[in-house]
């Protein structure tokens, strides 16, 4: 899978193609191109072919054709190929990380870790492939009170062709997790790559195919933002597509969820968050301050798991905020946003909060560059401010004071989101009593909110989505249970009464 250089490429830049049935789909006069821009470099670094609905349909057709054979493969065969693909990603780790930095402007350290995490998640999913199992339920009671004859079995089968729409902010770990879960279940895939990092996403598919995944099992397209709605609907409407996996904002997730409802297609969604970190009165204050700071500024705050709200017990509010502001004030930069619009959105939320009475504890509303904001802490946030329950996707956090544990829980749960949270305490019993009351899919004790475990299910509640990812839980999302009933010889019709 390589760049192509057609004669009509604008600006003479190389082009990311569409990849269908194991080959580049050559652009034609009906295709448009769009530039992929690096905010860090301040220029377009390459172009990408924008799919049309008709080409998206071709990708679905290829996946449907490949499904007839891929679904018959043994779980052990799929496991071996996933392990091989993880090995290829290890070998290409430097190249993958470089493209992620080039396209998304994330810090190199973040990109390197993202690639390493991707391979870890793939290996955990591969290990769980053999856990795809059916059951033999008890037979029902007959008219005379005895067990009915025959045999019932429940088997798990792949759901079919899957549309995967991965994001740009976890440009490696999130797409390889979704792809691996679907492949492990026996599904084939159409990936709609992010228009912000199509080369990174294509390179991942290259790794899978180099490992031996047959042509057509994974197809990847991308679309300019203006073309995205029509292309997405063409895929969801395709009769062979049986499920969608979307990771992204709640606003876009709502639209895709409505589209899936229109065509009666199930969807797995991991959406936004407004992650709270609760600091209890018996916490290790220095450690908690360091972890809260890290959770707020990683990748310029552009993670749905980011620490956006820090809720502090009144008894330790002053010493903790002193430590927190000291740490924040020493952070020179949190990196760069993926584009200027993301930086501006985060700034607008901070400005509106300040205008309505929020106080800046440290940092200040300051651009370090067009795509970088100064790490900022604020307090005094009220419900009438957008920042109260809207993702900033920037390197900032709001600090709240709670009279007691009960109020801390209330403040944490006062959000339309429910993705990740954290609780800081030296007592695991105390932390657990608070954690069990939180309306979040994941709660981390004495760690950053932006963390995940490959061997445990991850899911959003409330406005953060539904369905589970990781390991066997994620594999099950892409399979369906079928009941097969073996009736006794001579049986038929309804039982006599």
Contact 195, 224 (CB under 8 A): yes
The first and second tokens of residue 220, run together, are: 């990847």
| Helical (H) or strand (E) element with 316 | none
- Look up tokens 């009666």; give the residue: 264
Contact 29, 21 (CB under 8 A): no
Is 304 one of the annotated active-site residues of the chain? yes
* Spatial CB neighbours of 28, under 8 Å, sequence gap ≥ 6: none
- Name the DSSP class of 329: H
CA neighbours within 13 Å on the CB side: how many for 453?
Answer: 12
| Number of residues in the chain | 497
Contact 360, 381 (CB under 8 A): no
Nearest alpha carbon to residue 14 among 24, 22, 6: 6
Q: Which of 304, 308, 450, 477 is catalytic?
A: 304
The first and second tokens of residue 136, run together, are: 């033999």
Q: What number of other Cβ atoms are within 10 A of residue 461's Cβ?
A: 15
- Look up tokens 């979040």; give the residue: 440
- Name the DSSP class of 479: E
- List, edge to edge, every strand of the sheet that includes 188-192: 23-25, 18-20, 218-221, 188-192, 161-165, 241-247, 267-270, 465-466
- Look up tokens 């369905």; give the residue: 467
Intra-chain end-to-end CA distance of the chain, in Å? 66
CA neighbours within 13 Å on the CB side: how many for 429?
Answer: 0
Q: Which of 103, 270, 391, 477 is catalytic?
A: 270
- Name the DSSP class of 138: P
Is 270 one of the annotated active-site residues of the chain? yes
102/38 Cα distance (integer angstroms):
6
Residues with active-site annotation: 270, 304
């Amino acid at each position: 899978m390589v760049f192509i250089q057609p004669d009509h490429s604008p600006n003479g830049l190389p082009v990311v193609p569409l990849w269908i049935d194991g080959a580049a789909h050559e652009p034609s006069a009906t295709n448009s191109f769009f530039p992929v821009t690096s905010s860090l470099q301040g220029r377009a670094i390459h172009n990408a072919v924008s799919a049309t609905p008709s080409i998206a349909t071709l990708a679905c057709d290829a996946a449907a054709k490949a499904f007839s054979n891929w679904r018959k493969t043994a779980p052990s065969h799929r496991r071996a190929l996933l392990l091989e693909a993880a090995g290829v990603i290890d070998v290409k780790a430097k190249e993958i990380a470089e493209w992620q930095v080039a396209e998304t402007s994330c810090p190199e350290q973040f990109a390197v870790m993202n690639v390493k995490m991707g391979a870890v998640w793939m290996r955990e999913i591969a290990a769980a492939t053999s856990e795809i199992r059916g059951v033999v339920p008890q037979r029902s009671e007959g008219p005379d009170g005895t067990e009915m004859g025959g045999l019932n079995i429940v088997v798990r089968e792949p759901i079919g062709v899957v549309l995967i729409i991965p994001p740009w902010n976890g440009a490696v770990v999130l797409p390889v997790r979704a792809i691996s879960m679907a492949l492990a279940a026996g599904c084939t895939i159409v990936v709609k790559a992010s228009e912000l990092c199509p080369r990174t996403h294509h390179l991942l598919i290259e790794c899978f195919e180099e490992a031996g995944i047959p042509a057509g099992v994974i197809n990847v397209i991308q679309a300019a933002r203006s073309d995205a709605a029509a292309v997405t609907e063409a895929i969801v409407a395709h009769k062979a597509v049986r499920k969608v996996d979307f990771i992204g904002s709640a606003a876009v997730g709502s639209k895709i969820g409505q589209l899936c409802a229109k065509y009666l297609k199930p969807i797995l969604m991991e959406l936004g968050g407004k992650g709270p970190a609760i600091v209890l009165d018996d916490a290790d204050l220095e450690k908690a301050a360091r972890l809260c700071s890290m959770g707020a500024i990683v990748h310029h705050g552009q993670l749905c798991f980011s620490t956006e709200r820090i809720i502090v017990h009144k008894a330790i509010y002053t010493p903790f905020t002193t430590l927190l502001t000291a740490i924040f004030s020493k952070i020179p930069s949190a990196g760069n946003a993926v584009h200027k619009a993301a930086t501006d959105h985060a700034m607008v939320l901070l400005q509106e909060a300040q205008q309505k009475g929020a106080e800046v504890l440290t940092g200040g509303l300051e651009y370090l560059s067009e795509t970088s904001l100064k790490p900022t802490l604020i307090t005094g946030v009220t419900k009438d401010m957008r920042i109260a329950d809207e993702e900033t996707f920037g390197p900032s956090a709001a600090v709240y004071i709670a009279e007691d544990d009960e109020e801390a829980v209330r403040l944490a749960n006062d959000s339309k989101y429910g993705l990740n949270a954290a609780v800081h305490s030296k007592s695991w019993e105390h932390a657990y009593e608070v954690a069990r009351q939180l309306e979040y899919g994941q709660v981390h004790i004495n760690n950053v909110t932006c963390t995940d475990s490959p061997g445990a299910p991850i899911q959003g509640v409330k406005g953060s989505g539904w369905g589970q990812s990781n390991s066997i839980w994620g594999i099950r999302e892409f399979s369906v249970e079928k009941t097969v009933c073996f009736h006794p010889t001579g049986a038929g019709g309804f039982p006599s009464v």
